[in-house]
């Protein structure tokens, strides 16, 4: 009697396993199809911006700061920035000039952020320079920026405006500074 109960149970179990195996192989095929593959992503998909902020200014120049994080497996290069807050936006670096003074200048070729790494933009260091403000940036305002990468992908971020009395830098080949207005 035990053999009779065991045989139908075994047959039913085997049938259930065959059905489940058929379902799982269909699911596996779907999950590895090229349409769901994440292998071809853009630089913009791998980047996030944290702790962004902009220095308040009534007119002229200002700068944006924050941390650009690259969570991807490839280096990414920011080649340009745009913002409606300024008619001219540049990527700037801090370098030592021929007299030994630290000066700010436009960064040729843009900023490269290593795979899994980050780039900190800060006062007195690398930053996004707004050279011709379209209107005053008051504390509490927000400014929106679009970063463009070497692969032509983009990422947009919004940064709050803050009062800041530092960052009175000197710019190479210029009489401009970021002194308080």
My answer on whether 70 and 113 are in the same domain is yes
Tokens matching residue 43: 């630089």
Q: What percent of the chain has pLDDT over 90?
A: 62
Contact present, 66 and 51 (Cβ < 8 Å): yes
Q: Is residue 177 part of a domain?
A: no
pLDDT at 2 over 80: no
- Residues 59-113: pLDDT tens digits? 999 999 999 999 999 999 999 999 999 999 999 998 888 998 888 999 999 999 9
Contact present, 65 and 161 (Cβ < 8 Å): no
Three-state DSSP state, 5: helix
Q: Is residue 121 part of a domain?
A: yes
Instruction: Compute and round to an integer the Cα radius of gyration of the chain.
Output: 27
Q: Is residue 134 part of a domain?
A: yes
My answer on whether 75 and 123 are in the same domain is yes
Buried b (16+ CB within 10 A) or exposed e, 136-166: ebeeeeebebebbbeeebbbebebebeebee
Domain of 83 in residue numbering reads as: 43-162
């Amino acid at each position: 009697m035990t053999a009779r109960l065991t045989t139908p149970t075994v047959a039913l179990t085997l049938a259930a396993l065959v059905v489940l195996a058929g379902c799982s192989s269909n699911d596996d095929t779907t999950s590895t199809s090229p349409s769901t593959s994440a292998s071809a992503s853009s630089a913009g998909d791998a980047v996030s911006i944290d702790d962004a902020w902009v220095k308040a200014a009534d007119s002229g120049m200002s700068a944006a700061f924050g941390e650009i994080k690259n969570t991807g497996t490839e280096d990414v290069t920011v080649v340009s920035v745009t913002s409606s807050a300024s008619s001219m936006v540049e990527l700037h670096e801090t370098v030592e000039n021929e007299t030994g003074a630290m000066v700010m200048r436009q960064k040729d070729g843009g900023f490269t952020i290593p795979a899994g790494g980050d780039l900190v933009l800060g006062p007195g260091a690398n930053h996004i320079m707004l050279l011709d403000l379209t209107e005053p940036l008051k504390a509490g305002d927000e400014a929106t920026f679009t970063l463009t990468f070497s692969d032509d992908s983009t990422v947009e971020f919004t940064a709050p405006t803050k009062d800041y009395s530092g960052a009175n830098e000197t710019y190479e080949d210029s009489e401009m500074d970021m002194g308080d207005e």
